[in-house]
A and B are shown apart, each in its own frame.
Chain A
Amino acid sequence: MHNRRNMLKYMGAGLALSASLAFPAISHAADMPGVTDTEIKLGNISPYSGPASAYSTIAKTIAAYFNKVNEEGGINGRKINFLSYDDGYSPPKAVEQARKLVESDEVLLIFQSLGTPSNSAIEKYMNMKKVPQLLVATGATKFGNPKEAPWTMGWQPNYQSEGIIYGRWINSEMPDAKIAVMYQNDDFGKDVLAGLKTGLGDKADMIVAEASYEVAEPVVDSQVVKLKASGADVFINIATPKFAAQAIKKAHEIGWDATQIVANVSTSVAAVLTPAGLEASTGVISTGYLKDMQDPQWADDPAKKDWEAFMDKYFPDGNKASNFTVYGYSVAQTMVHILEQAGDDLTRENVLKQAASMKDVTLPLFLPGMSMNTSETDYFPIEQMQLMKFDGERWVNFGDVISGEVGG
């Protein structure tokens, strides 16, 4: 009896001691989830399978870039542990993977989760958990709303900015134009159209015709014919690659010689302009923000040589002709920049704060003159783009870098 009571006493003392020892360590770890003295855990969700699996090249490029960073010593001595899971472009699966990353793997943040539906699905959860959802891979304007979703931030120029840029350019270069717009009837098409009207300002009545199409429709020929009949001399083609190609081809076939603008998502020479016909595509205008690695004007650019060396050493299977590798390389550099800025204070709050205080940050593969700026009220890192024109073989940049700041 006496013995047992003693034992209990010792056990109690032992527990109290171990608790007092353990507590500081626990509270320290709780402050910086996903971070140890040697490692930073970053989560990612990408479609490695399913209809959008072509996009997984971006995550593969990012993983390769983080390998390079780790081999060169990491970030302040910490290696990046990049956990990338497959959601097959399915929102319920994205929720499952986000919860796995946050609750089971305990990552510092989720970075570059891909696709508007998947990011919409996890946005509420991430903000409730106060886990940063940084530099998401979609241009939907809704992912830049610090008031309602302070933990969610985009990266690439949002669709609305792109529309604003077209509007401003038309306003200054062709003030007497009559504009016809074809747009995809979803958030992408409507965002660009809304931006275009903002960019035109009080001259929004320059738009003489609008026609929308559903993704489920097989062809958009009738829309193009209808728009031509409006007598417009500028044709704005806000479409995803398949439909953009159809529209360019049809406009050429019916002899509509309007100035054509095609959305930035459909500027691939291989996937859009070649199927539409290179002759039909000559003279088409669009916007860009990253250097086109196929463009001979960058042949001697040191940034291009760095990128090529990276691709050869860390991602030899990657396709150098794909824009996705340039995109992944640049967005990974942005993440590294944010983590470096955060220094040793790698709490979720501080990382978010650093992401929201980028000032004139430029990346090697940005077009000259471009930079990223964010603030607590501005969650759109890239809002500038430069116009470019297709000369029958490649895109040629022209004019100045134009800002498409939303509300600015």
Chain B
Amino acid sequence: MSVNTTTTADSQAPAKQGVSLPAPAAATGNVKIMRTAGAILLAIGVAAPFLSGNFLIFQLTMMMIYAIAILGLNILTGFNGQFSLGHGAFYAVGAYTAAIMMDQFGIGYLWTLPIAGIVCFVVGFLFGLPALRLDGVYLALATFALAVVTPQLFKLTPFEHWTSGVMGIVISKPDAPFGLPLNPDQWLYFLTFAIGLLAYVCARNLVGSRTGRALMAIRDNPIAARSMGVNTALFKSLAFGVSALYTGVAGALGAIVVQYISPDSFHFALSVALVVGLVVGGVGWLPGALFGGAFIMFVPNIAEELSKGLSGAVYGVIMILMMYAIPTGLGGLLKAALGALSKRSTTR
């Protein structure tokens, strides 16, 4: 048996090397392509609010907010291998934290964002501790329960003084500060854009750091990670906390942009949508979050245009086709395409 496994490992090794270690010239080529794509995206992102109407700006803002939440989910699922069906709960906690602070205590909306992030970090970290005992589908089930329970909690009478129960909380839309010549929609767009960019850079640095490598080591082989001295319990809980922080900030931004929250805003479908966005964007590929956000923001609208009564079914069919065509999400597709490209350039 042991002989068998070693031989298969041996026979796979060269093939693997061929794909994952392309010639240096080709690798820099790939980096160049990615950089140019990034720069173009950035330029489009800055120009967009001046070229489109307020409605589209609003939609793009919501898309980026979902992207930030998916980024957080990606850190947990993509890099640490813990599966969560309950990120809608953290989104809701972030949104309620921001809304209650603005509504009850008159705190400025900008200050609510870091505080919502911190509250969600704590909630996520604490939830991560008992979740350490759970793996795979069991963890998915526990987080699912979290997503179902959280909106109900906001309806409870003891909290009603702050949450207004099912009536929800109405929030005023902030104007652009410093007399900037932007309307509120454009201002919120740029605010979200900046936070999204910051979130992305932080996530990238995190993934590239020692901590990131520890997270991935836990995902790939927990026993090996532990024997190399990685404190798996701490890192797994930390991953939960950071992931919840991202999603909480997204939730707070969402509350400010939508200007209204109620328990019905955070139906279980939100958690599922975030997982869908993660998968179609590419698990373990950070820029995929943007594509995932676009998918959950715009594809339901396309589905509704095709058939109103059967929009859910159309959405499902689009999703199935998507998974059939690119089973590893956009990230997987791009990786494969770039791999093929670099292979070609090396053979030439």
By a beta-carbon cutoff of 8 Å, the part of chain A in contact with chain B is 48-51, 56, 84-86, 88-92, 95-96, 99-100, 103-104, 116-117, 120-125, 185-187, 214-216
Contact = CB atoms under 8 A, between A and B. Distances in A.
B232 interface: no
Given A88-B269, A215-B155, A216-B155, A121 B53 contact: no
A186 B59 CA distance: 31
A125 B259 contact: yes
Contact of A121 (B56, B262, B309, B312): B262
Contact of B308 (A51, A86, A104): A86
A86 B269 CA distance: 15
Q: Most A CB atoms within 10 A — which of B62, B167, B264? A: B264
B260 A90 contact: no
A103 B53 contact: yes
Given A48-B308, A96-B58, A120-B168, A90 B264 contact: yes
A121 B58 contact: no
B262 A120 contact: yes
8 contacts: A85-B304, A91-B261, A91-B265, A121-B258, A121-B259, A121-B262, A186-B166, A187-B166
Nearest to B308: A48
Nearest to B263: A117
Interface string B149-164: 0001001110000000
Nearest to A185: B157
Contacts of B312: 49
A96 B59 contact: yes
Given A120-B262, A186-B166, A84 B157 contact: no
Contacts of A48: 304, 308-309, 311
Contacts of B155: 186, 214-216
Nearest to B160: A185
Nearest to B264: A117
Contacts of B254: 92
Contacts of B262: 91, 117, 120-121
B167 A95 contact: no
Contacts of A90: 264-265, 267, 269
A122 B167 CA distance: 13
Interface string B48-69: 0000011110110010000000
Contacts of B309: 48, 56
Closest 5 CB pairs of A and B: A103-B55, A121-B260, A117-B264, A186-B166, A92-B258
Counting chain B residues whose Cβ lies within 8 A of the other chain, the interface size class is 20 to 34
B165 interface: yes
B26 interface: no
Contacts, number: 90
A136 to B, nearest CB: 15
Nearest to B270: A90
Contacts of A89: 264
B272 interface: no
B304 to A, nearest CB: 5
Given A84-B308, A103-B54, A215-B155, A124 B260 contact: yes
B170 interface: yes
A185 B156 CA distance: 9
Given A85-B304, A186-B166, A120 B55 contact: no
B269 A99 contact: no
B258 A120 contact: no
Interface in B281-314: 304, 308-309, 311-312
A49 B304 CA distance: 10
B311 A120 contact: no
Q: Most A CB atoms within 10 A — which of B165, B261, B308? A: B308
B157 A104 contact: no
Contacts of A187: 165-167
A235 B120 CA distance: 45
A88 B303 CA distance: 13
Nearest to B313: A49
A95 B55 contact: no
Contacts of B261: 91
Given A103-B55, A125-B259, A96 B269 contact: no
A95 B260 contact: yes
B264 A86 contact: no
Contacts of B156: 214
B264 A104 contact: no
Interface string B85-115: 0000000000000000000000000000000
